[in-house]
Amino acid sequence: MKTLTLKETSQRYLVEIDQAALAQEPTLLETGGRPVAVLIPTAEYNAFRTWLTMRQAPAAPVEFQREVTAFEHLKPTLQEHHPGRVVAIHGGQVIAIGDDKMAVLDDVTAKFGPIPCYIEWVEPETPRRARISSAWVAQ
Amino acid sequence: MIAYDMRYAPPAPIASVVVANAVQKRRHRSAPALLDTGSDITAIPRSLASTLQLYPIGQIRLEDVQAQTLKVLTYAVHLTVADLSIPRLEVILTGLNHVVLGRDVLNRLYVLLNGPEAVFDVRTTPLASTQAPPAPG
């Protein structure tokens, strides 16, 4: 890792920055022989932000995660019998089927009340993708 | 018409929404919401999910600026904006302190953004045309 030393001065000073090196590897900034900060390439910073977001996101409750695992286990059979549809999984079983996630949630709530369940599309690639571009800037 | 929020740079159309637990609607909070046509889905502050005691119902893969995806939990809320009430809406959580209204909600509304005068309007009924476009030629 490259190290840049910062010195306090009453005059304006210039730190020589090798842009190519900055884009390739972390650069340590130190003052008085002590490290104060690290400059990292943008790609690494973005990866760090992604990791941070993941770390801050609430963990899935155990019962919910159990239903997700059950869905993954049932997926080959579901793709055979209910391709393109939405299923609700509770207790490891399919308890509702429909064509819209919120309609399936309605169905589940009406039949069983507010129970933990996993609602997902029966598609080869799940979950579906989504983008929230304003959050990119804010993060 | 509603004034743009000048605390954002550049100024932004921020509407007021009410978010409630989709099952237990007595748990509700009002919150500022950014109108974001670039977002596929609506997002609410993480703190709001905790207040409303939301429980996850699904997952999506959230795509970031690098086109990398991250699996996140989704929740069902009852959302009210202007005179539109959506009893069940799938949302995700963010670390932002405002709601992000995505196209899943905006596509159900008539939205007028008057940037030069820094005002906007959002309704469920067609907005009166402010001025007819000039005739060609």
Q: Where are the domains of chain B?
A: 2-123
Under a CB-based contact definition with an 8 Å cutoff, are residues A70 and A86 in contact?
no
Q: Which domains, from first to last, does chain A contain?
A: 2-56 (3.40.1620), 62-121 (no CATH)
Q: B114 or A42, which is more confident?
A: B114
Q: How far is B136 from chain A (nearest CA, A)?
A: 36
pLDDT in tens, A95-104: 999 999 999 9
Is the pLDDT at B39 greater than 50? The verdict is yes
Least confident of A110-119, B28-37, B60-69, B108-117: B60-69
pLDDT value of position A12: 65
> Residue B74 burial by CB count (10 A; 0-12/13-18/19+): exposed, middle or buried?
buried
- Could you tell me the CA-to-CA distances from B79 to B16, B18, B95 in Å, in that order? 11, 6, 19
Average pLDDT over residues A112-119: 93
Structure tokens, B127 = 């907005």
Is the pLDDT at A58 greater than 60? The verdict is yes
CB contact under 8 A, A138 and B94: yes
Q: Which chain B residues touch A71 with a CB distance below 8 Å?
A: none
- Domain B2-123 fold: Cathepsin D, subunit A; domain 1 (2.40.70)
ipTM for the predicted complex: 0.83
Sheet holding B2-3, edge to edge: B2-3, B119-123, B110-114
Helix (H, G, I), strand (E, B) or coil at B105: helix
Cβ of residue A118 closer than 8 Å to a chain B Cβ? yes
Interface of B with A in 33-72 (CB under 8 A): 34, 36, 38-41, 43, 46, 49, 55-66, 68-72
> Residue A115 burial by CB count (10 A; 0-12/13-18/19+): exposed, middle or buried?
middle
Residue B132's pLDDT band, with cuts at 50, 70 and 90, is low
Q: Quick one: closest CA in B to A117, which residue?
A: B57
